[in-house]
Every structure is written in structure tokens, then in C-alpha cells.
């Protein structure tokens, strides 16, 4: 299904209609957002079958919870990404341990100096601002935050994964989040 | 008081949304968020920022079956106003059952994939008006407990370029047909059965309709019913 570019206002309208039980609006919402959200599922779960299952579950949830969407709290895409990520992390935790962190799942693209690919992928969305702010962090700080976001890793697991002392990880993350807060605050 | 420290609140909110708070710390955080407005607001602020990370991934178009699955799960019981099942004579053809038993007993000799448990074996043969078989179905459960049907298309199915064959369960209570998904035109395939629909298979009938490519646009059969059958335990 091809992705159609819709404005945030279009998406708000679609989600409002979906909340009223409009199936056609729901289908349009799916068409407009599923490619990005499926990309998110694949990034978290890697396995296509699991990613498909997660996307289905998430859209069933979106249908049921659309009426509770509050535009003042978050943009539609961000709200949907939250639901999708939660479902993916649930499935990830339920998967056998050896499948939880594949070799290509180090998220070291976030430790790279070049955040171009993420910036391109985030084009035309608020996420570009976030990528811009991530540039202000040290590479390993970015990687720790990405690992946490895409894998729901706690401090202890991050310390293990990045072979750093627990205290260091905690400080990194906290300082990183502080920088992000200040940065996003100035841009918004 | 410590919980009135806005910096602490902001950092814990950020860590909560990011997912680094686990166990008791997470539960303490949730209790505060649920009872204090300022903590709820900080959580919302961070949720709408941190989750932007999820949009930095590359888009990948999901297969069409994903949307069909969503539709089936949400709307399969929907009303279409088209009383379609009445048009069907659900007389179970004894020839079809005999054929199903014959073919299935051969099928069962093949080593079954270990993830698929189909014992006791429940099978169906979908045949057309002339008792010409189109598909063999074998009902079972995956290791995770989901109901599935393994489907094999037989060489004898009608040619239908640009069309899809859609499988329906006709509930025994004569309520509207429920889509089980599309059938392969050749080779093997899998039909995933929603938990809600699975119990209807035992007494319900099965039918195949000819639909536009990708399946019925309405959630109900729109084309001719070409094949029918019923699951039988052997």
C-alpha cells in the first residue's frame, strides 16, 4: 500500500473520524501511516512476521482508542508511534531471549557522526528537530538512548550492552536527556 | 519535598518514557503520574518528543495481507445488508467428504512442520458444484496457540486472472459470512483464523467466492460462490 503524504491536520481529521467509527477514514489513516509505522516495527522486531503481527495489533488498538486521542497532547504520528512501539516492545519481550537483540541490532548508526539517514527518514516531520538535537549529544550517548527507545532496555542492560559501568550509563542518559530537553525547548 | 523538584520530575518522566525505568522505580513513577497533574503533564511532554525517535526509521510498505488482517479482526462481523448465505445450498456433499478423507490421509504422511499441531486431524475439501476439488485445508494450532489452516491449492482450480479467491466461514447460526482471508491460486498457503472466529469452524460451513484482486472491498462476499466444503475430523 503506497504511502500518501497527508498534513498533520489531515491526520487529525482522519483520527477524529476514526474515533466516530468511520471505517473509510480508518483505512485512509492506515494508508497514510502504515509504511512509517511498519518501518518502526521492523526496526524493533527485525522479523517480518512479528513486525506484521505487531502492526496489526497496534492498528486494532488505534481503532479502539482513536476516540481518546487528544491533539493538544501529541501529534497524530507521535501518538500512533507510541502505540506501535509499546506493542512491539511487548512482542519483543515475549520472544525467546536469543531473538531479542540480533547482531544488526546494535543501533550504532546512532553512534555515527553522520545522522543523515535518520534525518532523511524524518524529513517533513517534527522528528527532524529531534535528530537535530541528537547531534548535540556524544555518539555513545545517542546510541544508549536509541537502544533504550528501540529495545526498552533498562540501565543495567544498557551497561551490559555498551560495556560501561552502570553509574556512567545513568549519568550519560540523564545528561543526554537534559540536553535534549533544552534543545527541543529552544526550537519549539 | 523531593517530589516537587521539577528537575527530578522532568528527568524521571524522560526516563520513564524512554523505558530505562524498570521494576519498583517504574511502579513508583506510575503512581505519581496517576495522582499528580504536573507529573502527568511532564509525562505527556516527553512522550510527544521521545516518540519522535520512532519516526526516524525508514518507511517500509507492509504486505496487503496486514490490512486485510486488521479488517478481519475488526469488522468481520459487520452488517452488509446482503443476505448472502441464503443463496447457498449447504448440503454437504458426501463425495467431497470422502475425497477429503482420502487426500488428507495421504497428506498426513508428509512430515508436518513442528510448529503446527493438527491432532486430531481436521480437514476440509473445497469442491465446486461438479464436485471438482479446489483446495484442501488442514486445521490446526501454532505453538503459540493461534488457530491456522494450512491450505493446498489443487491444479484443478478455475483460472481467474486479476481476481482473488476469498475463503469464508458460514456460521451455523446463519449469521453473516466471515472472511478467513484469501486462498493461494497455486501451491501452499496459510490462513490465520482469529480467536473469535475459530470456534465457528466446527459447525459452520466454508465457502469460496470470486472477488476483485485483494479480496472483497466490502467485508462481505460480492462475487459468485464457486467452492464449498466443511471441516471434518478424521
Task: Check B62 against A60: CB less than 8 A apart.
Answer: no
The pLDDT value recorded for residue B77 is: 62
Q: How far lies B15's CA from each of A166, A187, B20, B47, B185, in Å?
A: 15, 21, 5, 10, 50
Contacts of B53 in chain A (CB under 8 A): 127, 130, 145-146, 149-150
> Residue A141 carries which DSSP code?
H
List pLDDT tens digits, range B30-51.
Answer: 999 999 999 999 999 999 999 9
Q: Which helix (H) or strand (E) holds A174?
A: helix A166-187
List pLDDT tens digits, range B71-98.
Answer: 999 988 654 333 344 334 333 445 555 5
Closest CB to A181 among B14, B23, B64:
B14
Closest CB to B60 among A38, A63, A154:
A38
B171/B83 Cα distance (integer angstroms): 13
- Please answer whether residues A14 and A25 qualify as being in contact, where contact means their C-beta atoms are separated by less than 8 angstroms: yes
A83/B74 Cα distance (integer angstroms): 17
The percentage of chain B sitting over the pLDDT mark of 70, rounded to a whole number, equals 80
How far A148 CA lies from chain B's nearest CA (Å)?
Answer: 6
Per-residue pLDDT of chain B (234 residues; tens, 9 = 90+): 577 788 899 999 999 999 998 889 999 999 999 999 999 999 999 999 999 999 999 999 999 999 999 999 998 865 433 334 433 433 344 555 555 665 565 555 544 444 666 767 788 888 888 788 899 888 888 776 778 888 888 888 888 888 888 899 988 888 888 888 888 888 888 787 878 888 888 888 899 988 887 778 788 888 888 888 888 887
CB within 8 Å of chain A, chain B residues 38-67: 44, 47-67
Give ipTM to 2 decimals. Answer: 0.90
Q: How far lies B227's CA from each of A100, B105, B161, B224, in Å?
A: 43, 21, 17, 9
CB within 8 Å of chain B, chain A residues 10-39: 23, 27, 30, 34-36, 38-39
Q: Which of A80, A85, A56 is nearest to A68 (CA)?
A: A80
> Residue A125 carries which DSSP code?
S
Amino acid at each position: 500500500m503506497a504511502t500518501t503524504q497527508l498534513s498533520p491536520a489531515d491526520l487529525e481529521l482522519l483520527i477524529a473520524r476514526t474515533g466516530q467509527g468511520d471505517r473509510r477514514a480508518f483505512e485512509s489513516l492506515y494508508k497514510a501511516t502504515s509504511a512509517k509505522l511498519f518501518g518502526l516495527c521492523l526496526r524493533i522486531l527485525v522479523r517480518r512476521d512479528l513486525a506484521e503481527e505487531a502492526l496489526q495489533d497496534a492498528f486494532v488498538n488505534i481503532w479502539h482508542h482513536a476516540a481518546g486521542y487528544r491533539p493538544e497532547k501529541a501529534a497524530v504520528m507521535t501518538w500512533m508511534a507510541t502505540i506501535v512501539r509499546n506493542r512491539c516492545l511487548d512482542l519483543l519481550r515475549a520472544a525467546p531471549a536469543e531473538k531479542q537483540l540480533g547482531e544488526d541490532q546494535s543501533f550504532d548508526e546512532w553512534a555515527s557522526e553522520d545522522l543523515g539517514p535518520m534525518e532523511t527518514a524524518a524529513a517533513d516531520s517534527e522528528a527532524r528537530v529531534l535528530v537535530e538535537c541528537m547531534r548535540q549529544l556524544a555518539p555513545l550517548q545517542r546510541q544508549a538512548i536509541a537502544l533504550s527507545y528501540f529495545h526498552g532496555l533498562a540501565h543495567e542492560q544498557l551497561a551490559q550492552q555498551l560495556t560501561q559501568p552502570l553509574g556512567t550509563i545513568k549519568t550519560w542518559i540523564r545528561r543526554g536527556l537534559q540536553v535534549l530537553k533544552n534543545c527541543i525547548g529552544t526550537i519549539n | 519535598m523531593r517530589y516537587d523538584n521539577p528537575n527530578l520530575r522532568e528527568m524521571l518522566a524522560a526516563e520513564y518514557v524512554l523505558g530505562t525505568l524498570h521494576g519498583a522505580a517504574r511502579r513508583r513513577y506510575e503512581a505519581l503520574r496517576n495522582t499528580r497533574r504536573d507529573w502527568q503533564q511532564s509525562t505527556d511532554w516527553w512522550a510527544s518528543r521521545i516518540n519522535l525517535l520512532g519516526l526516524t526509521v525508514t518507511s517500509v510498505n507492509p504486505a496487503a495481507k496486514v490490512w486485510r488482517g486488521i479488517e478481519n479482526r475488526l469488522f468481520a462481523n459487520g452488517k452488509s445488508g446482503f443476505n448472502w448465505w441464503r443463496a447457498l445450498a449447504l448440503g454437504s456433499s458426501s463425495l467431497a467428504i470422502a475425497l477429503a478423507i482420502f487426500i488428507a490421509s495421504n497428506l498426513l504422511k508428509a512430515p508436518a512442520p513442528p510448529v503446527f499441531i493438527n491432532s486430531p486431524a481436521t480437514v476440509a475439501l473445497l469442491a465446486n458444484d461438479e464436485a471438482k476439488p479446489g483446495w484442501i485445508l488442514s486445521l490446526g494450532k501454532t505453538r503459540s496457540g493461534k488457530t491456522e489452516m494450512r491450505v493446498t491449492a489443487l491444479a484443478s482450480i478455475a483460472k481467474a486472472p486479476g481476481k482473488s479467491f476469498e475463503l469464508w466461514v458460514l456460521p451455523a447460526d446463519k449469521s453473516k459470512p466471515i472472511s478467513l482471508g484469501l486462498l493461494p491460486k497455486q501451491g501452499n498457503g496459510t490462513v490465520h483464523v482469529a480467536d473469535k472466529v475459530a470456534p465457528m469452524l466446527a459447525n459452520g460451513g466454508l465457502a469460496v467466492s470470486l472477488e476483485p484482486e485483494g479480496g472483497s472491498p466490502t467485508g462481505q462476499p460480492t462475487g459468485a460462490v464457486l467452492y464449498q466444503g466443511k471441516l471434518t475430523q478424521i
